[in-house]
Structure 1
Amino acid sequence: MSLQWTIIATFLYTEIAVVLLLTLPIASPSRWQKFFKSKFLAYISGQASIYFLILIGVLVLCLLDAIREMQKYSNIEPSDHQHLDAEMQGNMRLFRAQRNFYISGFALFLLVVIRRLVQMISQLATLLAQSEANFRQAQSATTTARTLLEKQGTGEEQSKKEIEDLRTQILNLEKELSKEKKDKEAVKSQAEGLNKEYDRLAEEHSKLQKKLTVSGEGDSKKDE
């Protein structure tokens, strides 16, 4: 195998190992996302599209060369006068061309697969991060709602207690008002009794004064 195809075969084996690493449950998508966003890969990703296009171009050229070699050695028809060694060399070159075709074809295919896997893993990690953030936000909203409901329940209990206290105060005030009315009526009745007694005493005093006046006049007439 020439140096060119040795490099492509090594690249193919590396691609197979990378695909296995990406597909096996070795690390979570978030860890792969952190690895993809590392400084080294971030530096490479700035020119990743250029490298990707160059690799595709090289692999496509190698694939076309392998196809050309396959067509070249598959169209040779064996003749009776052809030597056995030449026929074996032709078959060997055809086999190498087919081998090179499969190597370059699979390398090109896995290159596209790896690119797609990296994109899908990055998208999955982003979706997982968003879903986790949404879940935390929902938990926070639920906790806030529960707290508000508990505060509202406590406020309702306090309002009920305040209403009961106000009712008790109103009842006490009504009792005191009724007592004040009764006391007022009692004082009023006592005042009326005193007024009647005063009128009676005043009337008796007036009668006594008249009697004294009459008796005084009688005594004065006797002295004369």
Structure 2
Amino acid sequence: MTLQWTVVAFFLYAEITVNLILCVPLISAQRWRLIFRWRIWSWLSPYWNKCFFTIIMVLIVLFLDALREVQKYSGPEPMQDAKVNPNVYDHVHMKLFRAQRNLYISGFSLFLWLMMRRVATLLNQVAVTMEDSAGLQSQIDNAVRAAKQQQEDKLTLKQSFLEKEKSMSAAKQQLKLEVEKLAGQLKTAEEAVRKSDADIEAMRRQAKGLAQEYDRLLREHHQLQNLQSAEDKKDW
């Protein structure tokens, strides 16, 4: 195996190892996202796309070269030569086997290289989606708690309103009773006032009669005094 195909084979083994590690279920997507956030990746990010497409182009070139070798040694001319000379037959089949091996190595390397990037991208997207889902779940929980709190506040306000309404109804009933009591007292006071007015009027009439009787008696007294004084004068 030449140097370039040895490098491609080791690259394939490295890709298989990395893809297996990426697919390990014990490492969560969030942990991979933390790993992808390391400073070294941000430092390598300006060169990552160039390196990625460069490796793709190299693998495509190697794949096409291996495909050309397979077609070359599987064609009719090498097979005819191999039938004539047995040594050439073994050599052609050895070359064909190597070409097919190189074709598989380069093809699988290209496939795993593309798949590795896709798996890393999907892991990152899954981690972002899980973080967004966690944030949305937190917002939903907060909204549910806020709704429950509002419902509890609403029930509390409703209960306080009902209690106030009951207290106001009781106060209104008490006030009504007080009004009725005061109305009864007012009616009694009015009757007492009317009675006292009648008594005062009777006393006034009685006083007026007494005054008239006093005046009459006073005139009679004066008349009697005048008569007595007249008799006394006659006796002298």
Task: Say if 1:78 and 1:197 are closer, same or farther in 2 by CA, change over 3 A.
Answer: same
Residue identity matched to 1:66: A
Partner of 1:183: 185
- CA drift of 1:65 comes to 1.9
The equivalent of 2:214 in structure 1 is 212
- Per the TM alignment, residue 49 of structure 1 is displaced from its structure 2 partner at its CA by 1.3
Equivalent in the alignment of 2:89: 87
Deviates more, 1:108-117 or 1:182-191: 182-191
Residue identity opposite 2:70 in structure 1: M
Contact 2:29 2:127 in 1 (8 A): yes
- Partner Cα distance (2:8, 2:82) in 1: 35
CA distance in 1, matches of 2:28, 2:123: 9
The one-letter code matched in structure 1 to 2:28 is S
TM superposition shift of 1:149: 0.9
- What is the Cα-based RMSD across aligned positions, in Å? 1.9
The one-letter code sitting in structure 1 at the alignment partner of 2:81 is P
- TM-score (norm. length: structure 2): 0.86
Q: 1:128 corresponds to which residue? A: 130
Runs of at least 5 residues in structure 1 that lack an aligned partner in the other structure = none
Q: 1:6 to 1:209 in 2, by over 3 A?
A: same
Residues 120 and 79 of structure 1, relative CA distance in 2, 3 Å threshold: closer
Q: Which stretch of the first structure deviates more once superposed, 62-71 or 73-82?
A: 73-82
Would you say the 8 A contact 2:82–2:89 is kept in 1? no
Deviations 1:175-222 (A, max 9, x none): 222222222222222222222222222222332333333334334244
Distance in 1 of aligned mates of 2:219 and 2:88: 191
C-alpha deviation, 1:118, in angstroms:
1.5
* C-alpha distance 218-67 of structure 1, shift in aligned 2 (>3 A): closer
- CA deviation map 1:36-74 (0-9, x unaligned): 222112222222111111111111121122122223322
Match of 1:14 in 2: 14
- 1:63-91 deviation digits (Å, cap 9, x = unpaired): 12212222332231236652x33332222
Q: Which moved more, 1:183-192 or 1:103-112?
A: 183-192
Q: 2:12·2:108 contact (CA, 8 Å) conserved in 1?
A: yes
* Aligned partners of 2:81 and 2:88 also within 8 Å: no
Q: Match of 1:78, as an amino acid?
A: D
User: How big is each residue's C-alpha offset from its partner over 1:85-137, in whole Å with a ceiling of 9 and x where there is no partner?
Assistant: 33322221221111111111111111111111112222222111111111110
SS of match in other structure, 2:30: helix
**Counterparts of 1:98 and 1:215 in 2: how far apart (Å)?**
167
Equivalent residue, structure 2, for 1:73: 73
Q: % of aligned pairs identical?
A: 28
Distance in 1 separating the partners of 2:155 and 2:33: 46
Please give the alpha-carbon distance, in whole angstroms, between the structure 2 residues aligned to 1:167 and 1:157.
Answer: 15
- Number of residue pairs matched? 223
More displaced, 103-112 or 213-222? 213-222
What CA deviation, in whole Å up to 9, does each residue of 1:13-57 have, x standing for no partner?
A: 111112212223131111112212221122222221111111111
If you compute each CA radius of gyration, which structure gives the higher value, 1 or 2? 2
Where do 1:1-224 residues align within 5 Å?
1-75=1-75, 76=78, 77-78=80-81, 82=85, 84-219=86-221, 220-221=223-224, 222-223=227-228, 224=230
Change in Cα spacing, 1:107 to 1:31, as seen in structure 2 (3 Å) is same
CA distance in 1, matches of 2:83, 2:118: 52
Structure 1 counterpart of 2:52, which letter?
F
Range 181-190 or range 2-11, more displaced:
181-190
Secondary structure in structure 1 of the residue aligned to 2:81: coil
SS of equivalent residue, structure 1 residue 188: helix
Unaligned regions of 5+ residues in structure 2, if any?
231-236
